[in-house]
Structure 1
Amino acid sequence: MSACATLRPAETPDFAGSMAAAHVYLAAGQDSAAAAAFEQAAALDPASKEPWLEIARIRQAQGRHVDALAAAEQVLRRDPTDADAHALTVTSGLEVARRTMLRLMAADVPPDEQQQAVGKSIAMLMAEVYGPEFLLSDELRTKIAREAIARYRAKRVERLPEARQDEPKGDPLDLLGGD
């Protein structure tokens, strides 16, 4: 009987305790234990967005972007205006798309019509959000500009009468330099 008196009843975890334990694990660099404690806190208070936001941050830092997206979506279900969750979904979503495209390129798999349509739709949205120049690298932008100047000059020469080609021309594009 004396042995029974020394046993303590199992402590029932509460939301605040789980959150505190998760932060201790996080500070100690124990991300997996922290995520598990945040998941326990989320189960204890299903309406709270905080544990899900922390889980999303941990999963993103671990490079587990699909899991980060899922956790960030849980935050947005509870608070559709949460800026951190929106940032996490954009970053992780773009990383998932980037990795997918790299796998397709490595496998030399051409996109089908549906994938092309989705890709164009995403590109149009990105151009709208970030500006059209966002979609082009500096190298590609320079190449396109040089090609456009070369086409302009070729058409200009074609339109000039033979007699006038020897006269000096005041072409404003010559001020830009290049080829």
Structure 2
Amino acid sequence: MKSLPMSLLVPAFTRVPLPTATPDVFKKMDMVSQKITPYMNGVFTIREIANRVKIDAEIVERCVRQLIYCGTIILLPQFLYSNCYYTTEKFKIFIKAFITQKECCEFVKRKSCLPGPEARDILRLYGGLRPGWKLSNWHSRFNPRRQNVDERKLIQFGIYYGFVRKQEIYPVTLKPEETK
């Protein structure tokens, strides 16, 4: 089974986001890291970051590998409405983790001027994720923006904490005698 090319994955910070760090942190980084870290927002793929900073994608990939090795970032699958996402067994832990739920409510808020979602809204949205059901279908049924929820951040938060997973769908070729 072949995995996705690294350039289609999305880097996300595992520690305090570096764009909010002090300027001294940036001075200690190499030049490529200094240029790419401001674009690591959990949304842009490695290829998109390379295009934005006008650096060869292979160089950006090497830099990202080094940041992964240092434990600063992880790679997430690219967010697409055509993807299928579902909750894992770890979702049971999230249901009981009230502090993590509060963090999630703050993280997924779309507009800071509006009231954020409540934990029960977040649990209902995550509970609506089903294997084989495209996110576009989920979005039209649950309408997360009605609760001031950014669905991209919602999925990112769940994947980061391990209670949401992207369903990998690969084509399977049947032998001619199996198709009859």
Scaled to the shorter chain, the TM-score interval is: under 0.3
The structure richer in helix per residue is 1
The structure richer in strand per residue is 2
TM-score by length of 2: 0.23
**Larger gyration radius, structure 1 or structure 2:** 1
Greater RCO, 1 or 2 (C-alpha within 8 Å, sep 6+) = 2
